[in-house]
Structure 1
Amino acid sequence: MSEEVLVAVRDGVLEVTINRPEARNAMTKSAAEAIAAAMDRLDAESDLRCAILTGAGGTFCSGMDLKGFLQGELPVDSRGGFGGLTTWTPKKPVIAAVDGFALAGGMELAFACDLIVAHAEAKFGIPEIKRGLVAAGGGAVQLPRLLPRPLAMELALTGDPIGARRALELGLVNRITEGPAIEGARELAGAIAANGPLAVVATKGIVRDSWLWPVEEINQHQNPYIAHIFTSEDAKEGARAFAEKRKPVWKGR
């Protein structure tokens, strides 16, 4: 694992930290590949329930490392795209914990996660257009899916950032914190990790993929995600724990 990315496990949650504070956590190819490797670990280890992606030194990610770009390097993973996560997602949930700036590819990386917790003073933006570039890591595509078109156009065409409170109002952010964003992210991760792991994976898959499904084919497309859930040991344990008024003990099967 690259020293540009730190990985730790805390209470069943994989915490992945972009560790280039001297460069505002600008993304390099090695960091992107390390994040992708961490996401593979998230899916591979049954004791891990979800992940938090954050940045060291009070900044989430300021986008592509321009020095590397000028030398011909693109900060992408062959499967996961920018930051190892913008064109692929693990089966388990990923929470972005955003302090400081999430700009350009950094904003796209945050949006590639499933949920976002941000410090109240954090800022989000895709300023690529100010440098003659295009937000090609998903920003120009995702914004009009998340916002009314005029608002998406304004953010994309001006390149100006918005604050976390405005992002919360627009539904781009789940929660904001007055302290470090990772504190709120850990709280949210804990709520997710307490649930049935098979059900969490299936539910993320449905929420992520179902916007492509024709209404008349919803059940047909959903069945492969849930067919094994209702006959699982976890489903029986969840019902039993409810009846016995205790916390369930999940087995992931």
Structure 2
Amino acid sequence: MRVIIRRLVSATNASCTRYNTARYSSNDAKNKKKEVEEAAEKKIEEVRKNIIVEKYGGITTLNIDRQQKRNSLDEATLREIEAAIESFDKDQQAKVLVINGEGGTFSSGFDMDEMGTKGYNVLKDAANRLRRRPLCDKPTIAAVAGFAVAEGFELALACDLRVIEDTAVLGCLGRRFGAPQTLYGARRLTSLIGLSPALTLLMTGKLISGVEANQMGLACKTTSTGTSLGEAIKLAKSLVKFPQNALIMDKLAAVNSTLNPNSEDSMRDEAVMESLLGNAIEDMKEGVKKFQGGIGKHGKFYKLTEVPLKDWELEESVEEITIIEEKKDDKR
């Protein structure tokens, strides 16, 4: 579809150029022609972007779209990903980021052709934003399909949660070429699955399936082929409904305990948590009111909006309280 769009844009540009050339002959006409050409170039550049960002309420999806290169990460793509994550960070309405690869592949790592041309350090520098621990203060989810190898594997590890298709292939393929884990992959992998299994993957370059990744503890959910993005968005929806301040605080505390002990990143995250505490207290006040009104009782994680309890639910609550009181009296 995007190829068709490119052709249509190119055809439109050509016709606009011919039209303007035929109609205008003055300097004004030349200026007009130049403006048209510049606008056309801008349109083509927009079509050729290597990522697609879409928003669904509080959920933002970042889709890597270099299908002809198995969604490998060149310098331009890494810069675009960095800009998209920064924009997500600053967007007050955006709550959860889902990272996905178009065309059935998550990412095959650094673009080897560009690495040969520009060198390893150029790509490493362009990927610097992905080295942050955590990747974002807000929740991030990787929808892993097809290959997630080398730096693509590290990108999945950088996310907080991973929804992985059972037929996906993950691993440290950079081992074949002597490439180290660039995006703190070794540290992240070890914190997620433990030292011994992490060393097995890191040292041997062994590839694992989505099923094996789940058994190791890398996946929060495994799903069938072609459904990872949909399932990741469903998971994101379940996170959006919660008060975000406490969720982010707990996330940062967990990440700190394993990835950033006694470091500048740890102090930064502690400062972020402190800044969120006041808002979290306000969220808790609202949460207490909701619970007192019957929302979320009996361990329910659904229908967390302000809906009055039905008669049968009120009766059930009264019966439970009566039973508990009777048990206490018996013990006395």
Q: TM-score range by the shorter chain?
A: 0.7 to 0.9
Please, which moves more after superposition, 44-53 or 150-159? 150-159
Q: SS of 1:75's equivalent? A: helix
Provide the C-alpha distance between the structure 1 equivalents of 2:125 and 2:92, rounded to a whole number of angstroms. 24
Please, which moves more after superposition, 140-149 or 127-136? 140-149
User: CA 1:103–1:114 in structure 2 vs 1: closer, same or farther (change >3 Å)?
Assistant: same
Question: Aligned residue for 1:157?
Answer: 203
Q: SS of 1:8's equivalent? A: strand
Question: Aligned residue for 1:238?
Answer: 287
**Contact 1:206–1:225 (Cα < 8 Å) also in 2:** no
Identity %: 28
Q: Which has the larger radius of gyration?
A: 2
**Contact 2:246–2:280 (Cα < 8 Å) also in 1:** no
Question: Aligned residue for 1:114?
Answer: 160
Q: Is 1:208 the counterpart of 2:258 in the alignment?
A: no
Q: SS of 1:228's equivalent? A: helix
User: CA 1:177–1:248 in structure 2 vs 1: closer, same or farther (change >3 Å)?
Assistant: same
Write the letter of the residue equivalent to 2:93: D
How do 1:16-165 and structure 2 match up within 5 A? 16-72=62-118, 74-76=122-124, 81=128, 84-88=129-133, 89-165=135-211
User: CA 1:113–1:130 in structure 2 vs 1: closer, same or farther (change >3 Å)?
Assistant: same
* Aligned with residue 224 of structure 1, among 274, 295, 309: 274
Write the letter of the residue equivalent to 1:85: L
Please, which moves more after superposition, 38-47 or 105-114? 38-47
**Contact 1:13–1:48 (Cα < 8 Å) also in 2:** yes
Q: SS of 2:79's equivalent? A: helix
* The structure with more strand, counted as a fraction of residues: 1
Q: Given the two structures, how large is their TM-score scaled by the length of structure 1?
A: 0.86
State the shift of 1:77 in Å. 5.4
What 5-or-longer segments of structure 1 have no aligned partner? 215-220
How do 1:170-185 and structure 2 match up within 5 A? 170-178=216-224, 179-185=226-232
CA-to-aligned-CA distance 1:186-210 (integer Å, 9 cap, x gap): 1110111010022222222212113
Say which structure, 1 or 2, has more relative contact order (CA 8 Å, 6+ apart): 1
**Contact 2:246–2:277 (Cα < 8 Å) also in 1:** no
Q: SS of 1:231's equivalent? A: helix
Question: Aligned residue for 2:300?
Answer: none
* The structure with more helix, counted as a fraction of residues: 2
User: CA 1:210–1:225 in structure 2 vs 1: closer, same or farther (change >3 Å)?
Assistant: farther
User: CA 1:77–1:4 in structure 2 vs 1: closer, same or farther (change >3 Å)?
Assistant: farther
Provide the C-alpha distance between the structure 2 equivalents of 1:228 and 1:125, rounded to a whole number of angstroms. 41
**Contact 2:245–2:280 (Cα < 8 Å) also in 1:** no
Provide the C-alpha distance between the structure 2 equivalents of 1:57 and 1:112, rounded to a whole number of angstroms. 21
User: CA 1:72–1:213 in structure 2 vs 1: closer, same or farther (change >3 Å)?
Assistant: closer
Write the letter of the residue equivalent to 2:286: E
Q: SS of 1:96's equivalent? A: strand
Give the paired residue count.
239
**Contact 1:21–1:56 (Cα < 8 Å) also in 2:** yes
Question: Aligned residue for 2:243?
Answer: 196
**Contact 2:106–2:146 (Cα < 8 Å) also in 1:** yes
Q: Given the two structures, how large is their TM-score scaled by the length of structure 2?
A: 0.66
What 5-or-longer segments of structure 2 have no aligned partner? 1-45, 263-269, 296-303, 307-332
Provide the C-alpha distance between the structure 2 equivalents of 1:235 and 1:141, rounded to a whole number of angstroms. 34
Provide the C-alpha distance between the structure 1 equivalents of 2:192 and 2:182, rounded to a whole number of angstroms. 16
CA RMSD between the two structures: 2.2
**Contact 1:30–1:75 (Cα < 8 Å) also in 2:** no
